[in-house]
A = this chain, B = another copy of it.
Amino acid sequence: MDDAVDLLMTQWARERPDLDVWPMGIMGRISRLSRLLDRELKEFFAAHGLERWEFDVLATLRRSGPPYELTAGALNRAAMVTSGAITNRIDRMAARGLVERIPDSGDRRSIRVRLTGRGLALVDEVLEPHVANEARLLASLDPRERDHLAAALRTLLASLGDTTLG
């Protein structure tokens, strides 16, 4: 079964037979998959009254364990966005009562962002169906393919230096 990237590479083979465009077979697919999967996740979270970025923040705090708090800096490294974006996200989530800003006792430049009871309840409620939804999106791969795929992607990520969550 051909996908959109196969068509793209066929076009290049005809137009520029002098070039071997094999990297596009990976780069193009990661890019298109990312967009398609983002759309799916967006739709899923909308059905649960959440924006995707809201869930990302909630989940980052949740998986950090009690007391469910992280600095703003840790959150922006985890989300791979700039500090301005995180300030904005915290503002809006605090307004919704999902997180609260706590002054950091050890460093007055820092703030700690803490999950409220409501935020904790929400993320714990949505997490399982979210994972089930992700599994549905990946259902075309059998378990062996999944493992190989995850391993190859890990190799790539690590080679690009993505080894910490901040």
Instruction: Tell me the A residues contacting B by CB distance below 8 Å.
Output: 1-8, 11-12, 14-16, 19-27, 29-38, 40, 62-65, 80, 127-128, 131, 134-135, 137-141, 145-146, 148-150, 152-160, 162-165
A sample of 15 more A-B contacts (CB under 8 A), given A2-B163, A3-B157, is: A1-B158, A3-B158, A3-B163, A14-B65, A15-B65, A21-B131, A23-B131, A25-B150, A31-B34, A31-B38, A33-B34, A40-B160, A141-B152, A149-B152, A149-B153
* Contact, CB under 8 Å: B25 / A157: no
Q: Residue A16 contacts which of B14, B127, B146 (CB distance < 8 angstroms)?
A: B127
User: How far in angstroms is the closest Cβ of chain B from A33?
Assistant: 5
User: How far in angstroms is the closest Cβ of chain B from A142?
Assistant: 10
* CB neighbours of A11 from chain B (8 A): 63-65
